[in-house]
Structure 1
Amino acid sequence: MQVIAVAGTALGALLPITNPVGALAAYAGLTGDMAPSEVRRQATRTGLYVFGILAVFTLFGTLVLNAFGITLGALQVAGGLVVAHSGFGMITSTPRLDAAEQDHARVKQDISFSPMALPLIAGPGAIGVVIALTARHPGWGNRIGIVIAAAVISALMVLVLRFGTPLVDRLGPTGIGALVRIIGFLILAIGVEILVHGLQSLHVI
C-alpha cells in the first residue's frame, strides 16, 4: 500500500510539471510537416525517453545529491525556483525554447529526445521533483512507486501526443493558450509550495 501511496503522490506532483497540454502544442508545431506514421513513431519514442530520464534520476538521483553534498532543502529551493519560473513563463506565454532552439528543432528528423523529452517534458523541474521525492521517501520500495508514476506519465504522454494533435486544430491557438495559462498558474503555485518547504527545511522561515 505504501508503494501505491507514493506512486499517487509522485503522479500528482509530476502531472502538472510534465504538462501534457503544453507538450502537445509544441509537438503539433514540430511535427507539422511529418507523415502521420512518423508522428506516431516520434510520440512513442518521446514517451520512452521521458520514462528513461525520470527512472534514472529516481534510482540514482540521491547519489548525485550525496556526491555534491546537496541537502534536500537546497534541492527543494532550487527546484521550486525552476518550477515557478516554468509556470510563470507559461502564464506570460514565454516560449520554453529560444529562437535558436526552435529553428534547430524544426529541421531535426528526430525530435523525440531533444527537444521533446528533454527539456520540454522531463526537464529540470520534473527531474528535481523525482529527486526530491526519493529523498523524502527513502527506500527502494518507494522508488518503485515513483518509477510506476513515471511509467504512467510516459504512457499518458504517448497517448496525448499520438491522438491529441487534432485537438490542437480544433481548439486553435486561443484555446490552447488559455489551457496552458491555467496549467501554468497551477505549476507556479506548486513551485512556490516546493520553495516554501525548502526554506522551512533550511530553517530560513
Structure 2
Amino acid sequence: MTLILQPPNGPRIGILGLVTEEASQAGIPLPFIGLFSMVQQLIYQFVTLLVVLDPVGMLAVFVAVVSPLEPRERRKTAVLAISYAFGVLVFFIAAGELLLIQMGIPLLAFQIAGGILLLLYGKEMTLSTHAPGEGTNDSSSGLHALAVYPLAVPAIAGPGAMLTVVLLTDNRQFSLSEQLVTTGVLASVLFVFLLILMAANPIMRAIGPGGANVLRRVMGVLLTAIAVKMLLTAIAHWLSLPPLQ
C-alpha cells in the first residue's frame, strides 16, 4: 500500500484527547502520565502498521498466488513470506534512514520502484496462462522464490511499509530502546498477518480451482490498478500536480 502515516508533530494526543502537559496540570501522577503516553504510542504504531500492511486486503492476493500449491506448501509459503518481510523491514528500521541519506534516494523513488514491480506482477497474474506458484515444489527453491517475490517484497514489505518503519523509528526523534519497542510492535502486527494468511486453506476449499483462477485474474487487474495509482501519485507529487481524484 501507499499509505504512510507520519507521527504527529508537537505534543502527542492520546486516544482520549488528553495531552501530557494537560494531564500534568490536572494533577495526574507522572508515572501514570508516562505509562499513558507509552500505551498511546504503542497503539498508534500498531494501528499505523496494521493499516499500511493491510493483511486483510493482502489475503485475496495471497490466495491467488498460492492457489496451485498444496495446503502444507501454502502454510510454509506464508511463514517464509512473513519471515522475509520481517527481515526486510527490520533492516530498514536499523539502516533504512542512513541508506536513503547516503545514497541520495528520494522517497518518491521508492514509490515509483514499487509501482513498477507491482505493475509487472499484476500483468503476469492477469495475462499468464499459468499461476505464479504453479510448478513449484517443496524440494526446490520454488517456495522460497515465491515467498520472496512477490509476497514478501513488494506485496507485504512494500515501499509504503519500508518508509513507514523508517518514519516510526526516526533516529532524530526516537532512542534505541524506543526503536526496539517499535520492532516488537512490528513483529506482533506481522504475527497477526500470518494468522490471517493461514485462512487461505479454508478459502481454497470453498472456491475450488476454477474460482481460484478467476480470483487470480481479478486480483491481477486490481494490482495493476494499484500499481498505476502508485506511479501516478508519485509523479503528481514530483511535478506538484493536484492529487488524483
- Give the TM-score category using the shorter length: 0.5 to 0.7
Q: 1:51 to 1:168 in 2, by over 3 A?
A: same
Which residue identity lines up with residue 194 of structure 2 in the other structure? M
Identity of aligned residues (%): 25
Q: Give the aligned partner of residue 11 of structure 1.
A: 50
Where does the alignment leave 5 or more consecutive residues of structure 1 unmatched?
A: none
Report how many residues are paired.
Answer: 195
Moved more, 186-195 or 12-21: 12-21
Deviation at 1:146, TM superposition (A): 7.9
Which residue identity lines up with residue 203 of structure 1 in the other structure? L
User: Deviation per CA, 1:88-147, whole angstroms, max 9, x where unpaired?
Assistant: 4434457674xxx854x32526766x1243113111353322223245656246896587
Which residue identity lines up with residue 47 of structure 2 in the other structure? G
Q: Give the aligned partner of residue 104 of structure 2.
A: 69
RMSD value over aligned CA atoms? 3.9
TM (normalized to structure 1)? Answer: 0.66
Q: Does 1:156 align with 2:193?
A: yes
* Distance in 1 separating the partners of 2:134 and 2:183: 31
Structure 2 counterpart of 1:127, from 148, 153, 158: 158
Q: Does 1:115 align with 2:145?
A: yes
Q: Does 1:82 align with 2:117?
A: yes
Structure with bigger gyration radius: 2
Alignment of 1:1-205 (within 5 A): 1=40, 4-15=43-54, 19-27=58-66, 29-31=68-70, 43-92=78-127, 97=132, 103=135, 105-106=136-137, 108=139, 114-125=144-155, 126-134=157-165, 139=170, 140=174, 148-149=185-186, 151-161=188-198, 163-203=199-239, 205=241
CA contact (8 A) 1:76 1:194 kept: yes
Deviation at 1:171, TM superposition (A): 0.8
CA contact (8 A) 1:77 1:198 kept: yes
Q: 1:202 to 1:18 in 2, by over 3 A?
A: same
User: Deviation per CA, 1:49-96, whole angstroms, max 9, x where unpaired?
Assistant: 332333323443333322321111222222222233333443445767
TM (normalized to structure 2)? Answer: 0.58
* Distance in 2 separating the partners of 1:90 and 1:30: 16
Which residue identity lines up with residue 192 of structure 2 in the other structure? A
Q: Say which structure is richer in helix.
A: 1
CA contact (8 A) 2:111 2:234 kept: yes
Q: 1:119 to 1:128 in 2, by over 3 A?
A: same
CA contact (8 A) 1:87 1:187 kept: yes
Which residue identity lines up with residue 172 of structure 1 in the other structure? G
Higher relative contact order (CA 8 A, sep 6+): 1
* Distance in 2 separating the partners of 1:146 and 1:196: 31
